[in-house]
Chains A and B, each alone.
Chain A
């Protein structure tokens, strides 16, 4: 499987040049997202202050306050200027709160939840995938493969509702919702980890089977290496490469998964505010959060590419692959 490369290829240049190209590329992508978001929000029919209770005088004041009376291009440049100062503006609906505030409050919670989910996913996914690959065509393989197929087929919000119903409501093992104490973190993190865990398991299994076909495994076996050395340095080390390529999309999966998980489990994270802002049509909040998420994901992809370059000696970092 090819890594999720998104780098500009500047052949024949040094790594610094490639890094530079890559950063330019990331900024371009962000700019496209920001512009698209801005235009999209302005194209929407309707008006955030269309409430009939708002008098024309008040509405005019609000317009002036938020700069909505200026021509579109002025608003656009103002918006870009604010963005470049990392100022995402103020919420239209939660009056008096800035988007930065909301992000600063919600993001740490989301990040923690994501981190737990990530660790769980890596653990379960690697375990299942490795067992299935190494014992392939046996009972272990078939059960692990089925579990993994199930994992990618059950949407996380259904899992969340199921877990909530069974473990919290019926069995009372965990709190139904909230974010207080360790036990409350368990169900959301578990739910969020299922899809990435299943994907990791499937990738790792396929990749182990592929590695086992290679002659270098035969060479390693001829050497008479100890079991663990063969497994860790020759099989898993090479098979893990394809899993690393998935880490980028995995961050995306966990992030988007957290939108609904946080809503269902009432976790005060950014995802919950994001979904709320969509319900409320709170345009600045939608805009700000979208750009924030986009930046986050783009940076995550970049880090994954670098990690891939470090792990696979055949790859030159920043996305250029040797042919």
Chain B
């Protein structure tokens, strides 16, 4: 059960839920737990401290505080739940309609909401409480008069998003009525943020009632909410502190439990939760000692030997990279091709030392210019005076700091990596802009990332990386976010840098056509393993592994240059990384699978020019 697993995963959620259930039960059962009545005045028993007969003591009129406290909790919670539920109802209805119908109605709605919303909420509540006079009804009216607005905004936003989802579009196409669609298809999908908002609205309303009670606008006497009790207790709190602190503790702990519940729920329902947690910033430096130059001569730029990366996840250990070995020379572009989930990005990030520190297990060797890099490294990468690695990510907008001018981001790297002065760094940055093909360098220098086009942004990112004078550049899907024409131009730029700077480039892509067009060598990654590799001319002319063959067949020949149709698309789905077979991971999708493929590791078969594949079928074909 997903629910019980969630509860187990978050002790905080369970604790706050249990606590709230306890409070609710006491508030409901309160009257039966004590022989006294909340209104019974007994002047012989005034201001008693907590004791056996009166667990919470008595007040100035000798009333039992235990029963009054739980009765008060009931009133406070009633106000909280009632206000929150009315907010929810109004918000769902108005926000849902505005979002669903859209157009004029939506515009009018948003305008009205803007005016209403800029009226200070608390003023409305106060004024209404003054006008209507104290009372449960006027309290709730006051709170919900503008309280529904945040909920409506939230619902509207979610509905606008859900409306574009495929299953909703499908339901509309099938001619289902708007109310049916809203009720059955959209609402269930907007429920989780709404649930979180609801959990956080209840304590707000309880809080507000207590506040109003304190300035004399709460629930009218003789009823007493927790707020009323606190106000009464405050009068004599120096002499009878329990009269104040017992109801105050009940109120605060209830609010704390609601807030904690809301917070943990929000974290649990957060769609980003699956991503690895960001690495905490702990001091520590990278362990790349400077190299004596002679040691680097002749060694390949980058060598991976049996590199493995495993992540610890709630579902168990996830093997992302399994015994990958590869080499890359200076002035060479090696394409790492694989479906999403094949581990290609993880490989790039692990070479850079950018994996989350917690929960990543790394083994194997990584030699950079003949010298070992420890993976994953700790802390910010300290590259000063060290051999240089650089990496470009898929989304150029995301890889640039949105609040810093583009040129400054390059200059800053120059100051850090080459110890230039700011003035010299600015000059050099303009040169780098020219090198990466930016026309109007000065304008671009002062532009913020959002003011540049996608291709321009990616060029700026290249300039940032070139500022480090790297020997190795890892380009993780550098063109996926760009249009086709820009894509080609960016790859031409990469090829140029490869030649002019002798840069080794690890080009990570899911796009076979791009690998074929631009890379010198290609490694095909499947389920965290390399299944075939070789010079790109050989590999594409004479693919060996059934996976590679299948992929090349699935590229429609006539427009193989159009990357959108040349994406990896193969019958069957990528394997579940948690339950990989001992043998070849491709077995379930392989058209020529042998009975033993599943259980025995497939052998490497070497053909010509370093073209190798790992497959039983290839081996048998060769020896038959």
Contact = CB atoms under 8 A, between A and B. Distances in A.
Q: Do A and B come from one complex?
A: yes
Nearest to B395: A215
Contacts of A77: none
Contact of B464 (A29, A32, A219, A227): A219
A75 interface: no
Q: In the complex, which of the residues B211, B281, B416, B450 has the most CB atoms of chain A within 10 Å of its own CB atom?
A: B281
B352 A222 contact: yes
Contacts of A154: 252, 255-256
A263 interface: yes
A301 interface: yes
A255 B33 CA distance: 41
A295 B404 CA distance: 35
Most chain A CB within a 10 A radius of its CB, from B255, B278, B283: B278
B417 A223 contact: yes
A44 B131 contact: yes
Given A158-B230, A215-B399, A223-B468, A136 B214 contact: no
B65 interface: no
B191 interface: no
Given A137-B280, A137-B358, A157-B211, A224 B450 contact: no
Nearest to A7: B114
A162 B244 CA distance: 9
Interface string B103-146: 00000000000110111111110111011000000000000000
B241 A165 contact: yes
Contacts of A57: none
Interface stretch (A93-101, A119-127, A286-294): A286-294
Contact of A260 (B211, B255, B256, B409): B211
Contacts of B169: none
A155 B126 contact: no
A238 B403 contact: yes
A92 to B, nearest CB: 14
A281 interface: yes
Interface stretch (B376-384, B519-527, B530-538, B561-569): B376-384
A239 B416 CA distance: 23
A134 B280 contact: yes
Interface string A16-31: 0000000001101100
Interface stretch (A33-41, A80-88, A177-185, A186-194): A33-41
A63 interface: no
A69 to B, nearest CB: 22
B272 A213 contact: yes
Contacts of B390: 222
A6 B112 CA distance: 11
Contacts of B358: 137
A226 B279 CA distance: 17
Interface in A283-319: 286, 290, 293-294, 297-298, 301, 311-314
Nearest to B256: A153
A225 interface: yes
Contacts of B123: 33, 290, 293-294, 297
Contacts of A68: none
Interface string B390-417: 1101010011111110000100110011
Contacts of A216: 398-402
Contacts of A162: 245, 248
A313 B211 contact: no
Contacts of A237: 401, 403-404
A311 B403 CA distance: 8
A151 B432 CA distance: 50
Q: How large is the interface on A (under 10, 10 to 19, 20 to 34, 35 or more residues)?
A: 35 or more
A314 B382 contact: no
A219 B450 contact: no
B203 interface: yes
Contacts of A136: 277-278, 280
Contact of B215 (A213, A217, A278, A301): A278
A228 to B, nearest CB: 11
B415 to A, nearest CB: 9
Contact of B380 (A150, A161, A224, A275): A224
A229 interface: yes
Contacts of B302: none
A243 B94 CA distance: 29
A153 B278 contact: no
Sort chain B's interface into a size bin. Answer: 35 or more
Contacts of B214: 157, 260
B130 A6 contact: no
B400 A233 contact: no
Contacts of A297: 120, 123
B127 A238 contact: no
Contacts of A263: 215
B217 interface: yes
B158 to A, nearest CB: 13
A224 B383 contact: yes
B251 interface: yes
Given A216-B399, A219-B399, A224-B381, A158 B391 contact: no
Contact of A215 (B117, B210, B253, B393): B393
Given A155-B251, A218-B391, A40 B131 contact: yes
Contacts of B263: 149
A222 B358 CA distance: 19
B166 interface: no
Interface string B410-448: 001100110000000000000000000000000000001
B192 interface: no
B248 A165 contact: no
Given A212-B279, A233-B401, A278-B130, A218 B413 contact: no
Contact of B115 (A32, A278, A286): A32
B623 interface: no
A177 B7 CA distance: 47
Contacts of B279: 212
B234 interface: yes
Contacts of A234: 401, 404
Interface in A200-258: 209, 212-227, 229-231, 233-235, 237-238, 241, 252, 256
B404 A233 contact: yes
A230 B399 contact: no
Interface in B200-247: 203, 207, 210-211, 214-217, 230, 234, 237-238, 241, 244-245
B280 A227 contact: no
Given A32-B115, A43-B131, 16 more contacts: A29-B118, A33-B123, A40-B131, A150-B252, A154-B255, A161-B244, A169-B238, A212-B279, A218-B352, A219-B393, A219-B409, A223-B464, A237-B401, A238-B403, A290-B123, A293-B123
27 contacts: A33-B119, A44-B131, A138-B280, A149-B259, A153-B256, A155-B211, A157-B211, A161-B244, A162-B248, A213-B272, A215-B399, A218-B393, A219-B400, A222-B354, A222-B465, A223-B413, A223-B416, A223-B417, A224-B413, A226-B416, A230-B281, A234-B404, A252-B121, A279-B215, A290-B127, A293-B123, A314-B450
Interface of A: 6-8, 25-26, 28-29, 32-33, 36-37, 40-41, 43-44, 134-138, 149-150, 152-155, 157-158, 161-162, 165, 169, 209, 212-227, 229-231, 233-235, 237-238, 241, 252, 256, 259-260, 263-264, 275, 278-279, 281, 286, 290, 293-294, 297-298, 301, 311-314, 322
Per CB-CB distance, the 8 closest pairs between chain A and chain B, nearest first, are A212-B278, A224-B383, A153-B256, A153-B255, A223-B413, A313-B448, A6-B118, A40-B131
